[in-house]
Structure 1
Amino acid sequence: MFALLRRRDFALVWTASLISATGDWVLFIGLPIYVYQLTGSTLATSAMFVAELVPQIALGSVAGVFVDRWDRKRTMVVANLVLTVALLPLAFVRSADLVWIVYVVAFTESLLARFLRPAEAAMLPRLVEKRDLVAANSLGAFAANTARLVGPTVGGIVAGLYGLGAVAAVDSATFLIAAVLVTVVRTSGAPDRAGIVDVSAVAAGRMRACWHEWVDGLALVTRSRTIRVLFGLAALSSLGEGSFGVLFVVWVNRVIGGTALELGWFMTAQAVGGLVGGLVIVRITRGMSPRQVLGVASVAFGLLDALLFVSPLIRPEIVVSLVVIGIVGIAGVAFMAGFNAILQTSVDDAYRGRVFGAIFATMAVLRLASTVIAGVLGGIVSPIPLLIAMQSGSYVVLGLAALGLLPREAGRERENLLREPA
């Protein structure tokens, strides 16, 4: 798997993603801690998360239109450079009455990420061969989990010792380094736009053309069974993950009898599992199609989660639960690798930005909905049955649906996705 890093352009983009993702986790941990210390208000802290969520819901799929119109490499470079500058105003937040700057910066960073992340995902199939997409996505998961493991620790230390300005400086520097790395990539990022814009749309002007392309991108959901199924699978995943974010905290407190310390142990154990998964998943899944990887990994993820939730009732030692969630992390890497590989090979290059953007937006909406539902039910029902039903159940159903509904060969419908010119 790591042999892919010998490919110069893939290695550059992968390293850029690793560095910037580490910076994101530094900010993600350091920023809410600092806001809460500054204001003493949970409402003020939660408002920061709302500011980050709004662009995901409102603009996720729309941003994908521009990702498909613009050069993906240039989009990544410009977004990283703008983020380098956009974070610097955080250095001026020294009192509670200036906390509004945090909200503006959080909104701006999330907005630019709507362009950056789909551009990265859409660019990947140009950097590796089709047969290497599962391995490439596994390496991406390895980078994400490395960032998740290192970033929070660095963020907490930097915020505690040097304040918000230092946190912003660290994250800003990571975006600058990422921009430099992507700049020297030689592979073209220009999207293949052949046949996707009809004459009437172009004649009507740029705004109408953008609207037309956005609708055309969303129409892929109705024109392709594969994309419809993938949207459904993403929805199930988001419903599970949104509920997990709320209910797992309750589970740690009520079932384990733990505090924030124990919650941190579980998050670290899952990240370590993700690192291991990034290293071994290609070997484990050798000979399997992306559909099989996605389906088997999803079912395994759900069943392992169920085992995790009931494990304290069988063996109360916390180390048992930590080992189980570590194995869950391995299954999670396989799930994402299989899902992304199918999506990347099933969508034509001209549409990838819009489809990734639409899926990210859909997932954000459903994650918010399931978070609210879990928050209401969590005060009424025990966390164990809720977690099994909403998190474990979602992934088991997801896996069975993937195995039963997705085509055996990824990309088989791709030739039917291009819209006929008007």
Structure 2
Amino acid sequence: MTRVLRIRDFRLLWTARAVAGLGTSMLVVAIPAHVYAVTGSVLATGITLAFEYLPSLLLGPFAGAMADRWDRRRLMIATDLVHALAISVTLLATTPETIWLVYVAVLGQGSAAVVFRPASQAHTPAVVGTGPELAGANALSAVTTGVVGLVGPPIGGLLFAFSGIGAVIAASATAGLLSAATIARSSSHRQAPATATRAQPATAVREVLADIRQGLRHVGRAAATRGLLAANSVYLLANAAFTALLIPFGVTQFGGSVQVGYLLSALGLGLLAGAPVSRRLADRDATRATVAASQALVAVAFALLFNSTSLPVALAAAFLLGLPAVTVTVSVFTWVQRTTPEGLLGRVSAAFLTLEAAATMLGAFAGPAVSEAFGMPAALNAACVVTLLSVPLTLWLVPRRPAALEVG
């Protein structure tokens, strides 16, 4: 898996994504905590979370069109710079009357992140090719994203607690600048973008909308991609519900935040252990079976974790959960990168990322809502059922022998 780091441009891209991801994840706890500290309002804090989701839902398709029309390397550099500038606006929000500046900052930072993700996803095959190294690159990226997502929020929370929001913003902005500088050191890789013209604004808008429709038509006509998109969205919905309930479950079931930390550490170790396996599985010509089997194993691990009364059993389940979870992610995105025409890859990647955001937002609200209405055990087991539902969906919607290249 780490062999792919021998490729200089991927090494730079991977480093930039890891640094940028850490800078973004540090804000997850710190920004809402800052809003609550300034306003004392739960509503204001909730609005902050809503603004974090909005860019993914509203800009995802446009981000994909941008990644296919413009130079992806320059686009990633630009979004890193926008991240650093936008999040710095938070420093001006020091009173309840100026808290709206946080919403502007979060919206700008989130928009930059939305544009960055499909550009980096589509740029990876240009850097490493579509052969065996692609699965290794995706496995390493998936593990890095998982680990950064686990350690970033606590780091941001600790920085906020001991040094205030200024230290968190400085660290996050610096991460964005470092990411931009790292990508700038990489080589420029030629791509086949959609035709970009210096047209009038109205014409340019029509061209972008036409690009988006073309991407959606491809997804609609490419049976395997369409099936993976639908089944993976159901899977991610359940996964988001589990994630939202994991901390309350750990605290109530096992006694406190220390035990939750153990669970998160076990999950992170499982992701690390599963990455080499996921790389080999993603290279097999059996994406349909691999994804379905991994989704089923995730459901079993979730059921074992959330129905355990012993911390050692829960830790074992959390570790085992990481193995198939990373395989789902790597297999899906490797398939998309290998089978999507290069000029459409940004838009197709954006479709997956947009539905991922929608499913995550819905699951994050649905899990706690069901828990409040029917109790946490019912919510957790209902999410297990939804996870299992993604298995027959994958087997039903994804062709048994999909074409190697799906041209819509």
The verdict on a shared fold, with TM-score over 0.5 as the criterion, is: yes
Shift of 1:222: 2.1
Aligned pairs for 1:211-250 within 5 A: 211-250=209-248
Work out which of the residue numbers 334, 357, 378 in structure 1 matches 2:371. Answer: 378
Aligned pairs for 1:101-180 within 5 A: 101-132=101-132, 133-180=134-181
Q: Deviations over 1:71-116 (max 9, x none)?
A: 1111101111121222222233333333222211111111111210
Matched, 1:398 2:398: no
Letter in 2 for 1:147: V
Shift of 1:135: 1.5
Letter in 1 for 2:352: I
Q: In structure 1, what is the Cα distance between the partners aligned to 2:155 and 2:248? A: 26
Letter in 2 for 1:219: R
Match of 1:49 in 2: 49
Q: Is the 8 A contact 1:92 1:165 kept in 2?
A: no
Match of 2:208 in 1: 210
Q: Deviations over 1:17-52 (max 9, x none)?
A: 011111112122222222223333222222111011
Matched, 1:334 2:327: yes
Shift of 1:328: 0.7
Letter in 2 for 1:163: G
Q: Is the 8 A contact 2:135 2:282 kept in 1?
A: no
Q: Is the 8 A contact 1:226 1:346 kept in 2?
A: no
400-409 vs 38-47, which moves further: 400-409
Unaligned 5+ residue runs, structure 2?
none
Match of 2:97 in 1: 97
Letter in 2 for 1:379: E
Q: Deviations over 1:179-224 (max 9, x none)?
A: 1111122141533448xx9x9x99x822211111111111223211
Match of 1:420 in 2: none
Aligned pairs for 1:1-20 within 5 A: 1-20=1-20
Matched, 1:291 2:288: yes
Alpha-carbon distance change, 410 to 181 in structure 1, aligned in 2, over 3 angstroms: farther
Alpha-carbon distance change, 353 to 70 in structure 1, aligned in 2, over 3 angstroms: same
Work out which of the residue numbers 317, 324, 327 in structure 1 matches 2:317. Answer: 324
Q: In structure 1, what is the Cα distance between the partners aligned to 2:161 and 2:104? A: 22
Match of 2:360 in 1: 367
Letter in 2 for 1:130: T
Alpha-carbon distance change, 129 to 66 in structure 1, aligned in 2, over 3 angstroms: closer
Q: In structure 1, what is the Cα distance between the partners aligned to 2:24 and 2:343? A: 29
Q: Is the 8 A contact 1:290 1:338 kept in 2?
A: yes
Work out which of the residue numbers 291, 298, 301 in structure 2 matches 1:301. Answer: 298
Q: In structure 2, what is the Cα distance between the partners aligned to 1:244 and 1:146? A: 17
Alpha-carbon distance change, 332 to 170 in structure 1, aligned in 2, over 3 angstroms: same
Q: Is the 8 A contact 2:240 2:363 kept in 1?
A: yes
Match of 1:27 in 2: 27
Q: Is the 8 A contact 2:292 2:395 kept in 1?
A: yes
Q: Deviations over 1:54-82 (max 9, x none)?
A: 11112211221122111111110111112
Q: Is the 8 A contact 2:191 2:342 kept in 1?
A: no
Q: In structure 2, what is the Cα distance between the partners aligned to 1:276 and 1:366? A: 27
Q: In structure 1, what is the Cα distance between the partners aligned to 2:34 and 2:362? A: 27
Shift of 1:120: 0.5
Q: Deviations over 1:122-177 (max 9, x none)?
A: 11111223232221111001211332343233212211121111101101111111
Structure-2-length-normalised TM-score: 0.90
Letter in 1 for 2:20: S
Match of 2:269 in 1: 272
Unaligned 5+ residue runs, structure 1?
418-422
Shift of 1:333: 0.9
Q: Deviations over 1:337-386 (max 9, x none)?
A: 01111111121111111122222222323333344443432223232233
Q: Equivalent residue of 1:130, what SS?
A: coil
Q: In structure 1, what is the Cα distance between the partners aligned to 2:229 and 2:280? A: 28
**Percent of paired sites with the same residue:** 27
Shift of 1:178: 0.8
Q: In structure 2, what is the Cα distance between the partners aligned to 1:357 and 1:286? A: 23
Q: In structure 1, what is the Cα distance between the partners aligned to 2:126 and 2:259? A: 42
Q: Deviations over 1:223-256 (max 9, x none)?
A: 11112102212321232123224444453355x1
Q: Is the 8 A contact 1:64 1:355 kept in 2?
A: yes
Aligned pairs for 1:56-95 within 5 A: 56-95=56-95
Shift of 1:405: 4.0
Q: Is the 8 A contact 1:81 1:175 kept in 2?
A: yes
Structure-1-length-normalised TM-score: 0.87
Q: Is the 8 A contact 2:69 2:193 kept in 1?
A: no
Q: In structure 2, what is the Cα distance between the partners aligned to 1:285 and 1:365? A: 25
286-295 vs 94-103, which moves further: 286-295
Work out which of the residue numbers 350, 358, 370 in structure 2 matches 1:357. Answer: 350
401-410 vs 95-104, which moves further: 401-410
Q: Is the 8 A contact 2:228 2:397 kept in 1?
A: no
Q: Is the 8 A contact 1:73 1:189 kept in 2?
A: no
